[in-house]
Amino acid sequence: MPWVAFVAVVLADQSSKFLARRRLPQDGGAPARRLAWREVHPRWLARVGRAGAAALLIVATGAVVVGSAGPLPASAVAGAAAALGAAASNLFDFARRGAVLDFIWLPPDARWNLADLAIVGGLALVVGGVAA
């Protein structure tokens, strides 16, 4: 069942980015607008390049298959699949556009997207499942 979490996160993240790009204005810099989107160019991904991002996407997808066979609790497996799906969604954006779209404003001035939140939440599920 980890595929369900993986695919659900990818679909939710890609849909939310599509809607944000269509319905919210682009953030032009200062002063930061709370309801706006911004393209982020992660430095480490820029070093890897689009081909490297595509390779990482394949590895993340494969990790879901391998991880589903492990002896971890179901919540930890679902959390890992969600985090990997989120990472894959951001990698897909970078491979396709050369940037990741962020649109969720968190104080003081950080921009996130659903994938970023799913990575944090998924890893929390992994840690909670392993620690239990």
Q: How many CB atoms lie within 10 A of CB 11?
A: 12
Judged against a pLDDT cut of 80, whether residue 39 lies above it is answered with yes
Residue 89: both structure tokens together: 């969604």
Q: Would you list the domain boundaries of the chain?
A: 2-14+37-131
How far CA 53 is from CA of 11, 37, 48, 121, in Å, comes to 19, 22, 7, 22
Out of 36-45, 46-55, 68-77, 94-103, give the one with best mean pLDDT: 94-103
pLDDT by residue (tens digit) across 88-107? Answer: 899 889 888 888 999 888 77
Whole-prediction pTM: 0.78
Q: Which residue from 65, 89, 88, 57 is spatially nearest to 1, judged by alpha carbons?
A: 65
Q: Which residue from 117, 115, 111 is spatially nearest to 33, judged by alpha carbons?
A: 111
Supply the DSSP string of 9-76, one letter for each residue. Answer: HHHHHHHHHHHHHHHSPBP-SSSPPSS-BEEE--HHHHHHHHHHHHHHHHHHHHHHHHHTTSSS-HHH
pLDDT by residue (tens digit) across 65-82? Answer: 555 556 778 888 888 888
